[in-house]
Amino acid sequence: MNSKDYGILLITTGINKIKLGEEVWIILDGNPSTGYNWKLDFEDSGIYRVQESFFLPSRTESVGTKGKAIWILKATDKGETVVSLNYARSFDKKPIKNVAYSIVVE
């Protein structure tokens, strides 16, 4: 199994170097039943495209369970960008969390 099979998991420390056409994954802890959701602070840099985004609940049958918020992005052009996500409720002006991923597409 290698990155060609499933894509590359992005990290928040350092610079993520990827190749044109590769898919990358962002996986974050979340619990939408609290009203909080991760939202991509979208910058249309043209360097990546969102292929898919979804929430994967944990394996419990309980209502209101936490899980993983997942984004799959595809590198569509060479260059540098920062992918930023905010964790907030829809009516909040400021997020309670923010994560950023520096990406260089070669």
Q: Report the pLDDT value the prediction gives residue 62, as an integer from 0 to 100.
A: 72
CATH number at residue 44: 2.60.40.2020
Tell me the pLDDT tens digit for each residue of 23-78. 999 999 999 999 999 999 876 678 999 999 999 988 776 777 899 999 999 999 99
Q: Report the pLDDT value the prediction gives residue 65, as an integer from 0 to 100.
A: 81
Tell me the pLDDT tens digit for each residue of 76-95. 999 999 999 999 999 999 99
Rounded Cα distance between 75 and 83, Å, is 12
73 alpha carbon, distance to own chain's centre: 8
pLDDT at residue 1 greater than cutoff 70: no
Beta strands in the chain, from DSSP E residues, in sequence order: 8-9, 15-18, 23-30, 37-41, 48-57, 67-75, 79-88, 97-105
Show the tokens assigned to 20.
């044109």
Spell out the residues 6+ positions from residue 57 whose beta carbon is closer than 8 angstroms to its own: 65, 66, 67
Q: Report the pLDDT value the prediction gives residue 2, as an integer from 0 to 100.
A: 45
The answer to whether the beta carbons of residues 30 and 37 sit under 8 Å apart is yes
Residue 95 buriedness (CB in 10 A; 0-12 / 13-18 / 19+)? middle
64 DSSP assignment: T
Report how many domains make up the chain: 1
Q: Whole domain around residue 94: which residue ranges?
A: 3-105
pLDDT at residue 102 greater than cutoff 80: yes
